[in-house]
């Protein structure tokens, strides 16, 4: 096979180079992206990395629970060829194996515990599933070291949580009935996250909305609550168990949270002033809810990821070296959505070694999409999951993997003869493909970065050895042009501006 790459003209060598952190990992899927093909529209909502580095993701749509091997191929030992027809919004692994998936159904939620092979665990509430009333939304799931399961969401617009024993019954030692709900005067919206501290102390994070004037204007602030193992608010945390934090702005929405190994609490979300776009925001606290003055300014950091757009992180992950990765979406009313990632140092500044000035903005193919979850493998590679909107209303799930620090990118680079190229490249639409190596009938396929075929033609190069490609109708982005004849194939990347 001949591989043509239109970036460098080099002799045929095997090159190993340290790639820029934040670069798509070409050893994963297709050019770093694994597109999950479904019959119906769907997307991935939650992602976890197993100890063997296999990736499990769940969302909505047909066959929406998937497990991939470390290289991005489907794990055929799981379900049917790596897929199962199970939907959910939260995914959590158990200490002794298996996993729990929570999904919302109108005003109810149900949680199902599965064995490692994907079959329901009948030792959990008889048939593997619990169904219970939780109010408007249910978001987070955490399994304690003792096997008890905490599920959190919003109960009548207030932060709430339920705790279940390992057998699936409500834990009566937790606030007597297994349920807690905070009455804070305002109301609490999405998204509630759960963190488990030592002694099974439970920290819930979200945001609180309060009315600030007679006109009914509101403000939103990050909020954290800590419950003791018995379900009572822990008075040693913040003020009577509650911490409220703003970013000198009116609208502050917490979307994700993580515990550092030293016990400090990181909460990520957005910060926005009226009539302006939102920015990524992070707050760091001590284990007892005190703002960490060594992080940013007074324990808070904001970052404008894509200027003029609303930047919303959907997930947060912590690297082994303490660096912080946020992943989500940047969007506006007049431009399509783009995937956005940012990496911060331990002190809260953008990490200039990652992407461009600490940021990665991925202009995916189609009209939009977003990252919904992020996780980091033991080798430091960053995995994200979400969906791309190829056409209005048609969502396609995907996972992508980015390189971390000090990782080697290995490539086979062949000399690229001038007679085998695309020009102009980049192109605004019309370009010429020359291929002197191919003299008979060939198949020419143009694919986007998700691996979707967007153009396919058969062509006989004949004496001219060239043909015109019209990419005018394609969205801007990077495409792969593959040429295939009876005996060999070649590939060229082209950028559509």
In a domain, 106, yes or no: yes
Sign of CA dihedral 162, 168, 169, 172: negative
2: phi then psi, degrees, rounded to nearest 5: -100, 130
Higher pLDDT, residue 228 or 188: 228
Q: Are residues 146 and 260 in the same domain?
A: yes
Q: Are residues 248 and 100 in the same domain?
A: yes
Q: Are residues 394 and 469 in the same domain?
A: no
Of all residues in the chain, the percent with pLDDT exceeding 90 is 33
Q: Are residues 400 and 467 in the same domain?
A: no
The CB-based long-range contact list for 432-436 (8 Å cut-off, 24+ gap) reads 432/466, 432/467, 432/468, 432/469, 433/466, 433/467, 433/468, 433/469, 433/481, 433/483, 433/492, 434/465, 434/466, 435/461, 435/465, 435/466, 435/483, 435/490, 436/465
pLDDT at 189: 56
**Domain range holding 397?**
15-411
Which of 9-13, 139-143, 317-321 has the least mean pLDDT? 9-13
pLDDT at 94: 65
* pLDDT band at 383; cut points 50, 70, 90: very high
Q: Are residues 407 and 454 in the same domain?
A: no
Which of 164-173, 327-336, 350-359, 478-487 has the least mean pLDDT? 478-487
Q: Are residues 476 and 437 in the same domain?
A: yes
Q: Are residues 427 and 387 in the same domain?
A: no
Q: Are residues 19 and 102 in the same domain?
A: yes
Which of 13-22, 90-99, 306-315 has the least mean pLDDT? 13-22
- How many structural domains are present in the chain? 2
The mean pLDDT of 276-300, rounded to a whole number, is: 95
Q: Are residues 134 and 228 in the same domain?
A: yes
Going by C-beta distance under 8 Å and a sequence separation of 6 or more, which residues neighbour residue 17? Answer: 408, 409, 411
Average pLDDT, the chain: 82
Higher pLDDT, residue 461 or 99: 99
Question: What are 217's two structure tokens?
Answer: 């204007």
pLDDT tens digit string along 26-65?
888 888 888 887 666 678 888 999 888 899 998 876 657 8
* pLDDT band at 15; cut points 50, 70, 90: very low
In a domain, 6, yes or no: no
Alpha-carbon distance 488 to 433, whole Å? 17
* pLDDT band at 5; cut points 50, 70, 90: very low
Q: Are residues 27 and 66 in the same domain?
A: yes
Mark which of 369, 384, 411 sits at the end of a domain: 411
The mean pLDDT of 323-348, rounded to a whole number, is: 90
Q: How far is CA 365 from CA 38, 63, 182, 307, in A?
A: 17, 23, 43, 20
Instruction: Count how many Cα atoms sit within 13 Å of the Cα of residue 72 in the half-sphere of its side chain.
Output: 24
Q: Are residues 435 and 366 in the same domain?
A: no
Q: Tell me: pLDDT of 366 over 80.
A: no
CATH number of the domain where residue 433 is located: 2.60.40.3080
* pLDDT band at 230; cut points 50, 70, 90: very high
In a domain, 249, yes or no: yes
* Strand residues in 238-353 grouped as ranges (E): 242-245, 251-259, 265-272, 279-285, 300-303, 310-318, 324-331, 338-344
Q: Tell me: pLDDT of 240 over 80.
A: yes
Alpha-carbon distance 329 to 336, whole Å? 10
* Strand residues in 19-78 grouped as ranges (E): 33-35, 43-49, 55-60, 65-68
pTM, entire model: 0.77
Q: Are residues 398 and 450 in the same domain?
A: no
* pLDDT band at 2; cut points 50, 70, 90: very low
pLDDT at 421: 80
In a domain, 258, yes or no: yes
pLDDT tens digit string along 157-203?
678 888 999 998 999 999 999 988 876 655 555 578 899 999 999 99
């Amino acid at each position: 096979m001949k591989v043509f790459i239109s970036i460098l003209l080099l002799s045929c060598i095997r090159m190993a180079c340290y790639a820029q952190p934040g670069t798509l990992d070409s050893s994963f899927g297709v050019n770093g992206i694994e597109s999950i093909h479904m019959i119906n529209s769907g997307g991935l909502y939650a992602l976890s990395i197993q100890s063997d580095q296999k990736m499990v993701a769940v969302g909505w749509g047909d066959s929406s629970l998937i497990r991939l091997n470390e290289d991005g191929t489907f794990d055929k030992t799981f379900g049917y060829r790596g897929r199962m027809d199970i939907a959910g919004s939260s995914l959590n692994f158990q200490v002794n194996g298996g996993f729990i998936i929570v999904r919302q159904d109108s005003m109810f939620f149900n949680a199902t515990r599965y064995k490692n092979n994907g079959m329901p665990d009948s030792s959990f509430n008889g048939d593997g599933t619990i169904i219970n009333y939780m109010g408007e939304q249910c978001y987070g799931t955490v399994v304690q070291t003792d096997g008890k399961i905490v599920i959190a969401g919003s109960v009548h617009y207030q932060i709430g949580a339920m705790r279940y024993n390992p057998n699936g019954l409500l834990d009566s030692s937790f606030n007597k009935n297994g349920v807690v709900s905070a009455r804070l005067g305002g109301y609490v919206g999405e998204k509630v996250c759960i963190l488990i501290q030592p002694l099974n102390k439970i920290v819930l994070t979200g945001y609180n909305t309060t009315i600030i004037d007679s006109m009914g204007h509101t403000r939103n602030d990050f909020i954290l609550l800590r419950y003791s193992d018995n379900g009572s608010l822990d008075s040693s945390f913040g003020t009577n168990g509650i911490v409220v934090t703003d970013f000198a702005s009116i609208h502050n929405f917490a979307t994700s949270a993580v515990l550092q190994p030293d016990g400090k609490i990181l909460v990520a979300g957005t910060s926005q002033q009226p009539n302006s776009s939102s920015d990524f925001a992070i707050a760091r606290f001590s284990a007892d809810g005190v703002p960490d003055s060594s992080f940013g300014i007074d324990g808070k950091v904001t970052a404008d990821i894509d200027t003029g757009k609303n930047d919303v992180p959907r997930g947060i992950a912590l690297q082994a070296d303490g660096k912080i990765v946020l992943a989500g979406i940047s969007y506006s009313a007049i431009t399509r959505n783009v995937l956005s990632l940012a990496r911060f140092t331990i002190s809260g500044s953008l990490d200039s070694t990652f992407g461009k000035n600490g940021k990665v903005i991925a202009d995916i193919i189609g009209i939009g999409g977003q990252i919904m979850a992020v996780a980091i493998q033991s080798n430091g590679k960053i995995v994200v999951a979400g969906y791309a909107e190829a056409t209005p209303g048609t969502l396609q799930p995907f996972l992508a993997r980015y390189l971390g620090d000090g990782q080697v990118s290995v490539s086979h680079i062949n000399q690229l003869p001038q007679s085998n190229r695309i020009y102009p490249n980049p192109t605004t639409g019309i370009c010429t493909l020359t291929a002197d190596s191919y003299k008979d009938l060939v198949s020419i396929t143009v694919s986007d970065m998700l691996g979707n075929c967007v153009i396919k033609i058969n062509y006989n190069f004949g004496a001219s050895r060239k043909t015109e490609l019209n990419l005018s109708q394609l969205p801007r982005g990077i495409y792969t042009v593959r040429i295939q004849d009876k005996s060999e194939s070649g590939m060229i990347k082209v950028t559509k501006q």
